Amino acid sequence: MISAGEPAPDFTLRDQEGEKVSLSDYRGRKVLLVFYPQDFSPVCSDQLSIYQEVKPQIAEKGVELIGISIDHPWAHKAFQEKLGIDTRLLSDFEPKGEVARAYGAYIEKFGHANRSLVLIDEGGTVAWVHESPTPLEIPGANLIFDGLASVGV
């Protein structure tokens, strides 16, 4: 897993609308990357729904939330609509898991990302990370707020 203090690897992925999104587009803002295994799994649905509930409090701290999984943009759009969430979801679809690998969040034997959180500061440096012990363990909202507080956000 990438470590705090390292430069965040730049990337360009398509979002749920098919639009290209680069990490560099967020330079000057704090971003919390939420790597998760796959759309429509019960655990991922719970995770993204919980984050949607606390998204306004995260935004109040000046942090933008972005989900990343191996699913196709069309799956992301359907997932977003089913859950009723507005979190931007990026498709690490092809080459499969390339961004998750760059951040050390990819689990080869499962073929998807682990549940990992990466806070990137305004200058593009990793400020805080959390990697779940298993893909079945959701990093809760309190963990996010504790992580933000630990770096003064």
> What positions carry a catalytic annotation?
44
Residue whose pair of structure tokens reads 């979002």 in the numeric block: 15
Q: How many CA atoms lie within 13 A of 105 on its CB side?
A: 32
Residue whose pair of structure tokens reads 């034997």 in the numeric block: 109
- Sign of dihedral through CA atoms 59, 145, 36, 21? positive
Contact (CB, 8 A) for 120 and 33: yes
Whether cis (ω within 30° of 0) applies to the bond prior to 42 is no
Q: Is 80 helix (H, G, I), strand (E, B) or coil?
A: helix
CA 31 to chain centre: 9
Q: How many CA atoms lie within 13 A of 149 on its CB side?
A: 7
